[in-house]
Amino acid sequence: MGRPALTRDAVLDTAAGLVKEHGPAALTMRGLAAELGTAVTSIYWHVGNRESLLDALAERTAAGLGEIRAAGRTPARRVVSVALALRRHLLDHPHLVAMVHERGLTERMFLPAQQALVHEVHAAGLRGARAASVVRAVTFHVVGHVLVERARERAPLRHPGEPDLWDTGAADDDPALARALARPADPERLFDLSVRALVDGLLTRG
Amino acid sequence: MGRPALTRDAVLDTAAGLVKEHGPAALTMRGLAAELGTAVTSIYWHVGNRESLLDALAERTAAGLGEIRAAGRTPARRVVSVALALRRHLLDHPHLVAMVHERGLTERMFLPAQQALVHEVHAAGLRGARAASVVRAVTFHVVGHVLVERARERAPLRHPGEPDLWDTGAADDDPALARALARPADPERLFDLSVRALVDGLLTRG
DNA sequence: ACCTGAACACCGTTCAAGT
DNA sequence: ACCTGAACACCGTTCAAGT
């Protein structure tokens, strides 16, 4: 009767739930204790302090990214498909990924994806340090792009007068460009364009 | 005599100093008041609350990025040179830039750089929405790359057993690749490689 | 071994009161 | 118009005490 015994895993589970829903900033020790139905201080016995709780959570999340399968006919397309899948996954778990990222564990998290990329890059005829750089460049690009996207989402409402910085002759004689830059970017299309360009550039260089 | 009158600008100045040195998390209202030699509550009269103080600080920093000059002979090289300069600037002011980024003001901050990029992309013969996408892809890439770099710096000491995930046959028959991926990335070289590839890819596409 | 409440040193913020 | 101290509702963390 009463609550089931409090375990380290139970603490991590409900902590993960809170972070997934409201972000790491919303995870307080007292709130977590309330959710668990225990005293705050019990948590400390099981997981140390808040910092190591978040560390453990990040480890867990980093380990949770499963296999990623490439799709497409050419190596370039297959690499791009991995990048797209990776981006999808990151966007689907924004809070948890942010936590992993802040703790510098992103690289470990991406190990399965990197193995898939290695395979494709080999198929494209690259080997050794050269191939490694390509794999890394692609993962950096994906993570970076998603981070920038997410920052844009968080952006406050546009400040008055900002969009038309591009209208007022800043882009001299190219009104179509001015209009395009005055509009918010379409992250989906932008990502597609840039990974394709990046991968093409990486795979075709001497 | 005594302290010079407390002004909104004085508050922002010393707040900027604290953030620049120790990061936004280290900026407390009480600590700021102590630094200013006033009561905590005086700050509230001048800048509202902590959140709007950080907003104002971000605005300020975003406006502070000056002109960026391109260098090099071909348009591609000139675009790359802008990207390199941008990265330099971001790495030189990590805390302030993080603040701007978290508030989604990065795009505004990069307006001068984007204007330089527009010029070069025009020189490369691209116009309109196509040119706009190239400009955006490059800025996204730069910001994203720097964000990933900075996360890697923050990374804790490597966990035991992690580096050799690549040694133990994960990268089948390419030991040079395995060695390269087991080593930490060289961000300088990686950035150079990836912007060049990206810009090449973007400028040569039909 | 596990859980607890009390206590400490911090936060940001409000408010009534001063000049 | 500007500055103040007291007070409130929060934090994370430690510790002695319970079972």
pLDDT at position B165 is: 62
Closest CB from A102, A122, A194 relative to B151:
A102
* A39 CB and strand C closer than 7 A: yes
Residue A143: its chain B contacts at CB < 8 A? 144, 147-148
Contact between chains at B180 and A128 (C-beta distance less than 8 A): yes
Judge whether B202 is closer than 8 Å to chain A, CB to CB.
yes
Contact between chains at B127 and A176 (C-beta distance less than 8 A): yes
Query: What is the pTM for the complete model shown?
Result: 0.91
For A27-49, what is the mean pLDDT?
97
pLDDT at position A160 is: 47
Judge whether A17 is closer than 8 Å to chain B, CB to CB.
no
A165-199 pLDDT, tens digit each: 665 555 668 899 999 998 889 999 999 999 999 99
| Domain range list for chain A | 8-63, 70-205
Pair B53, B43: CB distance under 8 Å: yes
Residue A114: its chain B contacts at CB < 8 A? 181
Specify the nucleotide whose C1' lies closest to residue B37 (CA): D3
Q: Which DSSP letter does residue B26 get? A: G
B35-74 pLDDT, tens digit each: 999 999 999 999 999 999 999 999 999 988 888 899 999 9
Closest CB from A129, A140, A185 relative to B180:
A129
Give the span between the Cα atoms of B165 and B178, in whole angstroms: 9
Q: Which nucleotides of C are covered by protein (CB under 7 A)?
A: 2-6, 10-16
Which stretches in chain B have pLDDT values below 70? 1-3, 155-172, 206
**In whole numbers, what is the pLDDT of chain A averaged over residues?**
89
Contact between chains at A140 and B148 (C-beta distance less than 8 A): yes
CA distance, residue A48 to nearest chain B CA (Å)? 18
Burial pattern B110-137, b for ≥16 Cβ within 10 A else e, equals bbebbbbbbbbbbebebeeeebbbbbbb
CATH 1.10.760 fits B70-205, yes or no: no
Gap between the terminal Cα atoms of chain B: 69
Q: Do domains A8-63 and A70-205 have the same CATH topology?
A: no
Closest CB from A145, A156, A177 relative to B127:
A177
| Residue B111 CA, nucleotide D10 C1', distance (Å) | 40
Give the span between the Cα atoms of A186 and B126, in whole angstroms: 19
pLDDT at position B1 is: 43
Give the span between the Cα atoms of B115 and B142, in whole angstroms: 15
Pair A135, A147: CB distance under 8 Å: no
Contact between chains at A151 and B193 (C-beta distance less than 8 A): no
- Give the residue on B whose Cα is nearest the Cα of A102: B151
pLDDT at position B160 is: 47
Contact between chains at A148 and B140 (C-beta distance less than 8 A): yes
> Chain B neighbours among A 51-80 (CB < 8 Å)?
55
- Give the residue on B whose Cα is nearest the Cα of A202: B197
Contact between chains at B155 and A103 (C-beta distance less than 8 A): yes
Please state the φ and ψ torsions of residue B53, each to the nearest 5 degrees: -65, -45
Closest CB from B101, B131, B193 relative to A151:
B101
- Among protein residues, the one whose C-alpha sits closest to the C1' atom of D5 is B39
pLDDT at position B65 is: 82
Give one DSSP letter per residue of chain A, joined into a string.
--SPPP-HHHHHHHHHHHHHHH-GGG--HHHHHHHHTS-HHHHHHHH-SHHHHHHHHHHHHHHT-------SSSHHHHHHHHHHHHHHHHHHSHHHHHHHHHTT-HHHHTHHHHHHHHHHHHHTT--HHHHHHHHHHHHHHHHHHHHHHHHHHHPPSPPTTSGGGTTTTTSTT-HHHHHHHHSPP-HHHHHHHHHHHHHHHHHH--
- Give the residue on A whose Cα is nearest the Cα of B129: A177
CATH class of segment(s) A8-63: mainly alpha
Strands (E), B134-193: none
Give chain A's radius of gyration (CA, Å).
Answer: 22
pLDDT at position A117 is: 95
* B21 CB and strand C closer than 7 A: no
Contact between chains at A151 and B205 (C-beta distance less than 8 A): no
A99-139 pLDDT, tens digit each: 998 888 888 898 899 999 999 999 999 999 999 999 999 99
pLDDT at position B157 is: 54
